[in-house]
Structure 1
């Protein structure tokens, strides 16, 4: 059992449910209606006067959009066994998943792509990711490699990111939303760490597009050549396993023809 789960188990399930409801800004009445229970029963559950059934905990967790990992913690706090497995990525049960992920990464060549877990730790990547990381300090690439740390650390990619303030704001915004969604103290600590990194450019509070902008690009100086990327994020649509639910595949695409040509050239050299 993780330290997080052990700490959660010491707190009453009603208190945790109320905390999640407050975090989602949902009233008791609205939650009771959506979960098809009485407001009085929900109040009794939150105050500890009534012990919820296992199905009730799962139902409330679903309507509160609690992540699978935290739903297991709610069940533990209520005295029940976890409902959702947490497989290792190398487990036989995830063999087809690994195959699908590897196919996605390989087929995305010559453009960079990576797979990360909930904590932004690198789990897998294609060979083209080296275009982004080949000037990162070696100590930052010792596993477990945290991709946000690698990107924003002054010994990482940061000195080569031409729009560091803009890209930093984009990444910190994503992490803040993730913290709000999960309430994970590990992510809170990561956010505090990243905020403390120096940045010699203005960091916008709100991502407002400039003339003609439709995305926040990553503009990277690579061997004296500016490469410009946009990225897409893919997740699994109907996960019932904690590990699978937390996998994220981020794929980078060239945002202009010059970048596409340069990436094909670099890929050709590597495989040739």
Structure 2
């Protein structure tokens, strides 16, 4: 079982913070949970104590991440129930097997696995294109994929449509920080948003043309331009904190020239 930080906070305070983060009223939450709005009010003010089943029901309705469901349970006086195993733990064999097959099966195109903080967990051989020529300090463990994507000494210096990709990634990171309540993401957002790129206009707005379908990454690679788009997959029914926070990002060629280059 992963360690759960114990804070001097009440269940009502934690519940209220998640309800407000989800922009849900007490009445709306009560309807979804099958209780009265008065009961939700009493839970938030401490006039009522929830059962463990009610804590889990409210967490499910508010889509609270598993890591923070443990925090809710602890604040209500219950033991955490969601384990947090290392990816290399023996019990995680089936998860590792699935990840390895997805990564290998996606070659010759890049694919990688990241955790909730965008730290690199695993990658296939083709993903080496993102680390080639990158300074050693950016490759120190844990390698952060968001830093690699936007740092001017890494992919940020090779993206031909940096302004557009940067705006998209910063928006995604900010939304993830708000939705997850993870302070690490907020700090990461502020860090990568502070990167400077001399001579690059970061205020360029892309106006979609009639033929646009996706916003590609346009990467300068020697004498070629590689154009790619990505898909992101997660595990569908996680019951472990680590598994719930893993995401698999796969890169696909956006044109035949890029596909031929990878082949």
TM range (shorter): over 0.9
Distance in 2 (alpha carbons) for counterparts of 1:30 and 1:190: 33
- The match for 2:258 is 259
Q: CA 1:233/1:203 → structure 2, altered by over 3 Å: closer, same or farther?
A: farther
Q: CA RMSD in A?
A: 1.5
Q: CA 1:124/1:62 → structure 2, altered by over 3 Å: closer, same or farther?
A: same
- Please say if 1:132 is aligned against 2:130: yes
- The match for 1:179 is 177
Contact 1:170–1:216 (Cα < 8 Å) also in 2:
no
Distance in 2 (alpha carbons) for counterparts of 1:210 and 1:54: 53
Contact 2:160–2:219 (Cα < 8 Å) also in 1:
yes
Contact 2:147–2:192 (Cα < 8 Å) also in 1:
yes
- The match for 1:243 is 242
- The match for 1:218 is 217
Distance in 1 (alpha carbons) for counterparts of 2:48 and 2:207: 48
Contact 1:234–1:248 (Cα < 8 Å) also in 2:
yes
Distance in 2 (alpha carbons) for counterparts of 1:148 and 1:170: 12
Work out the number of aligned pairs and report it.
260
- Please say if 1:48 is aligned against 2:46: yes
- The match for 2:164 is 166
Distance in 2 (alpha carbons) for counterparts of 1:35 and 1:204: 45
CA-CA distance at 1:5 after TM superposition: 2.5
Contact 1:219–1:226 (Cα < 8 Å) also in 2:
yes
The 5 Å alignment of 1:13-32 reads 13-32=11-30
Distance in 1 (alpha carbons) for counterparts of 2:39 and 2:183: 30
Contact 2:130–2:154 (Cα < 8 Å) also in 1:
no
- The match for 2:201 is 201
Distance in 2 (alpha carbons) for counterparts of 1:253 and 1:230: 5
Q: Which runs of 5+ in 2 are unaligned?
A: none
CA-CA distance at 1:204 after TM superposition: 5.9
- The match for 1:81 is 79
Q: Which has the higher helix share?
A: 1
Q: What is the CA deviation profile of residues 31-88 of structure 1, one whole-angstrom value per residue up to 9, with x for unaligned ones?
A: 0011011111111100111111111111100001111111111111111111211111
What is the DSSP-based 3-state SS (H/G/I as helix, E as strand, rest coil) of the residue aligned with 1:232? strand
Q: Which runs of 5+ in 1 are unaligned?
A: 265-272
The runs of 4+ residues in structure 1 deviating greater than 4 Å are none
What is the DSSP-based 3-state SS (H/G/I as helix, E as strand, rest coil) of the residue aligned with 1:5? coil
Contact 1:168–1:203 (Cα < 8 Å) also in 2:
no
CA-CA distance at 1:100 after TM superposition: 0.9
- The match for 2:103 is 105
